[in-house]
Amino acid sequence: MPSQAVLEELNLKELIIGSELSSPNAHGGNVAWSLIRRRKPNNNPNRKMEQLKTIGRELAMGSQGGFGQSKEFLDLVKSIGESRSKAEEDRIVLTEIDTLKRKLLEPDIPKRKLKEHIIRLVYIEMLGHDASFGYIHAVKMTHDDSLLLKRTGYLAVTLFLDEDHDLIILIVNTIQKDLRSDNYLVVCAALNAVCRLINEETIPAVLPQVVDLLSHGKEAVRKKAIMALHRFHRKSPSSVSHLVSNFRRKLCDNDPGVMGATLCPLFDLISEDVNSYKDLVSSFVSILKQVTERRLPKSYDYHQMPAPFIQIKLLKIMALLSSGDKSASEMMYMVLGDLFRKCDSSTNIGNAILYECIRCISCIVPSPQLLESAADAISKFLKSDSHNLKYMGIDGLGRLIKISSDIAEQHQLAVIDCLEVSSYKGNFFEVVCFHVSTLFFFPGLMFLTFQQDPDDTLKRKTFELLYKMTKSSNVEVIVDRMIDYMISINDNHYKTEIASRCVELAEQFAPSNQWFIQIMNKVFEHAGDLVNIKVAHNLMRLIAEGFGEDDDDADNKLRLSAVESYLQIISEPKLPSLFLQVISWVLGEYGTADGKYSASYISGKLCDVADAYSSDETVKGYAVSALMKIYAFEIASGRKVDVLPECQTLIEELLASHSTDLQQRAYELQALLALDARAVESILPLDASCEDIEVDKDLSFLNGYIQQAIESGAQPYISERERSGMFETTDYHSQDHHEVTSHALRFEAYELPKPSVPSQASTTALVPVPEPSYYSEPHQPISTSSSVSERESSEIKLRLDGVKQKWGRPSYQSSTSASSSTPPQAANGTSTHSDGGVASSSSSRPRSSYEPKKPEINPEKQRLAASLFGGSSTSRSDRKSSSGGHKPAKGTANRAATVPKENPTPVPDLLDFDEPTATSGVAATDPFKELEGLMESSSQDGGGSTDVMGLYGAPVKTTTSVDSLLSELSDSSRGTYHQSQTTKGPNSKEALEKDALVRQMGVNPTSQNPTLFKDLLG
């Protein structure tokens, strides 16, 4: 290559990244790269620039087909590289953007130039500048016929746009076309774009094409199609949920690469739902076995390891499948044992597989032998010089320790009971030694010395392990170490994590209360506001409640020790706000409780806090409340209170505070100081922070008052929900027999739009609007039967009704359409609109108060109702009767008005609802079902066969027959349209065609058509 010639000529070797590729055997893969660094130091910038220029010119000639860049691009890269400051770079880029804007608008740009412009745009955006003006050009390029431009266009749009960008709509059509292209490179480029640019809404537009590609002739395309489906699954699992069987089938594709790709989506699927894939365990085991036996073609070897990435994926999947499943685990013992024996631990990739085996063993139900080999492997990792392997070793140890205790119980073996951190040298190079006394599975690892060096990652991993190993016997050492480490780091994110771990361990294993409070103080002092506020509240509660023992003495000691430690700390500068809140609260509650400290001493301290942190309102609030408590306790115990002068000024200052909260607290404090002992004691009793305050939610103490008011003619209260929400909510209740969820979101798709019905629904929904008695109807039975006041209440509703109407239809429509859109009982839905009363009176179920009125139903009305709703279908007889039962709830006054309205609607309605669903449903499914059955039978033998790899070696007849069947399917699916048309009649044919057309045009139908595609794609 010319570029290389130039490089050598110019002595630019110092920039060379990797050159000599030694054989992986010699030193192991990870050191295969010997880096050549700075053979000839050359610091003269001018000279370097000259060199770069020469290279640029050389490359600019574009002698190396396809990828040569022009001089402008090189100049751009070079000048940006040489810019001395960010400002200079920005200036260069801005001029470049101007140039590009101009150039892209020029007519008739040669293709190579156009590509180059777009690449420059991408480059500029990578440097962090806005290139959005060029997005449209990139989109335009995807439409181009030339592969060069199309690929560049796709590359650019995948880097520029997100899946919700407005321009995506312009690309979807092109993608659809390209997915059907004859040129597999075009297909690949389109699949690449699909992965990035298709969002949940546009998935249906490309899904059929992508599924077709699963049987493409080129394995590269099949692989990418699977990955694209995987991506769809990640974006919206429901969109491809019907395609799961395809993944299973592709597991026995005759190309191992495709099989390997299938493992990715299967891994995701299995991690979501383990149980439905248990049957695959044996297949996975046999695949892994065959991979390790090197039955794959040589080209899948990597550093003399057969298909390591496939092995790793398989191990991960098997770990998922066999976790906690003894029989599944047992199937894997053999192959895992083989892996431990065979794995070459001198290469990086070999260790990767070993580590994966350890991970797998830590998930499954392991055998003692496997545990032992895992322990051996871990000890090798830990003893290794490579930090990477040490890291993996620590990680593996953490995993095994998690399971070891169970095994220990099972096997009555010794447990790792004392993991002591015995020696410790401070500062950065700390040495943590675990003395592992009875490690039953670590025979060769009795004393593991682990030196902690500047490697932060390793250190963190070690602390993670320590965290997992903590017990009450070693908690003190470990938490101390953790806190030291926490103090030493600056990374807030990790500090938070370590702080919360310290707190967790301290809460769980604290040997003594004093220790616990000390640790908490340290955590608050150093991690301060990074600590979750809950931790602070927990601490306060703990101090208030004690450690759960009924020993008041101990609790008091605990409190005293807390108060003492806080009084020490409080004078330190710059404490975190959260800590100060805790301190103030504890001092307020318990500062004077013991009698050791005088009220004026504590209140002085609290005033200091409020002064020193005058910008922090929360702290001030806590301090003032604490002051209030202290004074209250003083007053209650009958001592004379003399408010300190600084406290007085604080109160006065806060009385005029901008914060209403502080103001209120100050006023309360002032008022409290003026009260007598008895009153104060009932306001703020001593040590009552843990007493539950009972809140009477029903406000029952007001009952007498209400009774009085009602007797004197007031109207009883009707809750808001009953006033306004009754129609929708109750509708919902009445309709959903089978759906138990009352107010939850609906997740199933809405049913297909039916042309005639919605219009009817809307008209019937609109009809009642002008009718003022609509809302009052349901209450009429009540009003006739019960007191005057209730009649009045219904009149109130009437008035509310009027208000609603004033705001016009929308409010009405929204309420009614909500009910009409609850699909499965749409027929019922329309009938409820037509007479309103049904809905509202069926609502009586939730509102029990209306229940007793039912018996008063007029039999005449019942008959009317029966005649209106009667007769058409038997399946709805139960509902029919229920609606018949509700019917009479309608007021007599209204009957005349409603009857004519209802008469025309219900009968055709019911028919309409029944017929289309029945025909389209049955007719659309049947032919495909049959086809599916055909495919299933042919694919099953593939899925069940254990010798999957045998298929790769020599494509046996069975697979080819599957393939041909698949291709036939795509043909015959066209045929089935005709077939089905004869069986179905005109209606469904139209529907199918329309649907197909809609999909071709890339329009996203409102819902997935389950009958059409689910069955087709199986």
Residues 827, 734: Cα–Cα separation, whole Å: 13
CB of 451 to another protein, least distance (A): 12
Residues 83, 78: Cα–Cα separation, whole Å: 9
**Cα angle for residues 655, 658, 663 (degrees, 5° grid):** 35
Mark residues 485-514: x for contact with another protein by CB under 8 A, - for none: ------xxxx--x-----------------
Instruction: Provide the 3-class DSSP secondary structure of residue 364.
Output: strand
Q: Is 956 in the site for another protein (CB under 8 A)?
A: no
Among 61, 94, 136, 147, binds another protein (CB under 8 A): 147
Q: Is 408 in the site for another protein (CB under 8 A)?
A: no
Among 47, 180, 541, 809, binds another protein (CB under 8 A): 180
Among 26, 43, 67, 674, binds another protein (CB under 8 A): 67
Whose structure tokens read 């695949």? 287
Q: Is 757 in the site for another protein (CB under 8 A)?
A: no
Pick out residues in 427-456 that bind another protein (CB under 8 A): 453-456
Whose structure tokens read 């599944």? 328
Among 185, 433, 477, 643, binds another protein (CB under 8 A): 185
Q: Where are any strands of DSSP class E within 760-907? A: none
Q: Is 351 in the site for another protein (CB under 8 A)?
A: yes
CB of 423 to another protein, least distance (A): 23
User: HSE of 441 in the Cβ direction (CA atoms, 13 Å)?
Assistant: 24
The DSSP output letter for 851 is G
- Cβ atoms within 10 Å of 86's Cβ, excluding its own: 8
Mark residues 238-267: x for contact with another protein by CB under 8 A, - for none: -------------------x---x--x--x
CB of 72 to another protein, least distance (A): 12
When the beta carbons of 383 and 537 are compared against another protein, the nearer one is: 383
Q: Is 686 in the site for another protein (CB under 8 A)?
A: no
CB of 187 to another protein, least distance (A): 12
Which is it for strands 447-451 and 301-302: parallel, antiparallel or unpaired? unpaired
Instruction: Provide the 3-class DSSP secondary structure of residue 745.
Output: coil
CB of 993 to another protein, least distance (A): 18
Mark residues 357-396: x for contact with another protein by CB under 8 A, - for none: -----------------------------xxx-xxx----
Q: What is the residue type of 574?
A: K
Range in contact with another protein (rule: CB under 8 A) among 155-163, 206-214, 323-331, 476-484: 155-163
CB of 115 to another protein, least distance (A): 8
Burial class (CB in 10 A: 0-12, 13-18, 19+), 642: exposed
CB of 149 to another protein, least distance (A): 8
Q: Is 295 in the site for another protein (CB under 8 A)?
A: no
Residues 773, 889: Cα–Cα separation, whole Å: 13
Mark residues 95-134: x for contact with another protein by CB under 8 A, - for none: ----------------xx--x---x--xx-xxxxxx----
Query: Who contacts 588 (Cβ-Cβ below 8 Å, separation ≥6)?
Result: 606, 622, 625, 626, 627, 628, 629, 630
Cα dist from 708 to 135, 714, 787, 788, whole Å: 74, 9, 17, 17
- Cβ atoms within 10 Å of 629's Cβ, excluding its own: 25
Q: Is 997 in the site for another protein (CB under 8 A)?
A: no
Q: Is 170 in the site for another protein (CB under 8 A)?
A: no
Q: Where are any strands of DSSP class E within 18-65? A: 20-21, 33-34
Instruction: Output the DSSP codes for 458-485.
Output: HHHHHHHHHHHH--TTTHHHHHHHHHHH
CB of 385 to another protein, least distance (A): 10
Count of residues near another protein by CB under 8 A? 108
Task: Classify 1000 in phi/psi space as left (phi over 0), alpha (psi -120 to 50) or beta.
Answer: alpha
Among 249, 460, 605, 880, binds another protein (CB under 8 A): 460
Residues 911, 918: Cα–Cα separation, whole Å: 11
Q: Token pair for residue 765?
A: 């929904």
Burial class (CB in 10 A: 0-12, 13-18, 19+), 159: middle
When the beta carbons of 135 and 727 are compared against another protein, the nearer one is: 135
When the beta carbons of 35 and 87 are compared against another protein, the nearer one is: 35
- Are the beta carbons of 1012 and 980 closer than 8 angstroms? no
Whose structure tokens read 């293709």? 111
Residues 187, 199: Cα–Cα separation, whole Å: 19
When the beta carbons of 110 and 986 are compared against another protein, the nearer one is: 110
Pick out residues in 296-315 that bind another protein (CB under 8 A): 299-303, 308-309, 312
Torsion of CA 34, 39, 43, 49, to 10 degrees: -80
Q: Is 43 in the site for another protein (CB under 8 A)?
A: no
Q: Is 137 in the site for another protein (CB under 8 A)?
A: no
- Are the beta carbons of 471 and 509 closer than 8 angstroms? yes
Whose structure tokens read 């994590």? 497
Partners of 301 in the β-ladder: 306
When the beta carbons of 218 and 854 are compared against another protein, the nearer one is: 218
Q: Is 146 in the site for another protein (CB under 8 A)?
A: yes
Q: Is 862 in the site for another protein (CB under 8 A)?
A: no
When the beta carbons of 492 and 614 are compared against another protein, the nearer one is: 492
When the beta carbons of 312 and 931 are compared against another protein, the nearer one is: 312
When the beta carbons of 68 and 885 are compared against another protein, the nearer one is: 68
Q: Is 145 in the site for another protein (CB under 8 A)?
A: yes
When the beta carbons of 177 and 435 are compared against another protein, the nearer one is: 177
Q: Is 413 in the site for another protein (CB under 8 A)?
A: no
- Are the beta carbons of 148 and 185 closer than 8 angstroms? no
Q: Is 922 in the site for another protein (CB under 8 A)?
A: no
Range in contact with another protein (rule: CB under 8 A) among 230-238, 515-523, 905-913, 957-965: 230-238
Radius of gyration, CA atoms only, the chain? 39
Q: Is 402 in the site for another protein (CB under 8 A)?
A: no
Range in contact with another protein (rule: CB under 8 A) among 24-32, 547-555, 774-782, 885-893: 24-32
Q: Is 236 in the site for another protein (CB under 8 A)?
A: no
Burial class (CB in 10 A: 0-12, 13-18, 19+), 939: buried
CB of 299 to another protein, least distance (A): 6
Q: Is 23 in the site for another protein (CB under 8 A)?
A: no
Q: Residue 434 phi/psi, 5° resolution?
A: -100, 130
Q: What is the residue type of 904?
A: P
Q: Is 333 in the site for another protein (CB under 8 A)?
A: no
Q: Is 894 in the site for another protein (CB under 8 A)?
A: no
When the beta carbons of 156 and 416 are compared against another protein, the nearer one is: 156
Among 19, 473, 571, 946, binds another protein (CB under 8 A): 19
CB of 109 to another protein, least distance (A): 13
When the beta carbons of 257 and 588 are compared against another protein, the nearer one is: 257
Residues 24, 319: Cα–Cα separation, whole Å: 29
Q: Is 643 in the site for another protein (CB under 8 A)?
A: no
When the beta carbons of 220 and 706 are compared against another protein, the nearer one is: 220
One-letter-per-residue 3-state SS of 617-632: HHHHHHHHHHHHHHHH
Q: Is 674 in the site for another protein (CB under 8 A)?
A: no
- Cβ atoms within 10 Å of 458's Cβ, excluding its own: 18
CA quadruple 163, 166, 172, 175: dihedral positive or negative? negative
Q: Is 283 in the site for another protein (CB under 8 A)?
A: no
Pick out residues in 187-226 that bind another protein (CB under 8 A): 192, 195-196, 220, 223-224
Instruction: Provide the 3-class DSSP secondary structure of residue 306.
Output: strand
CB of 252 to another protein, least distance (A): 20
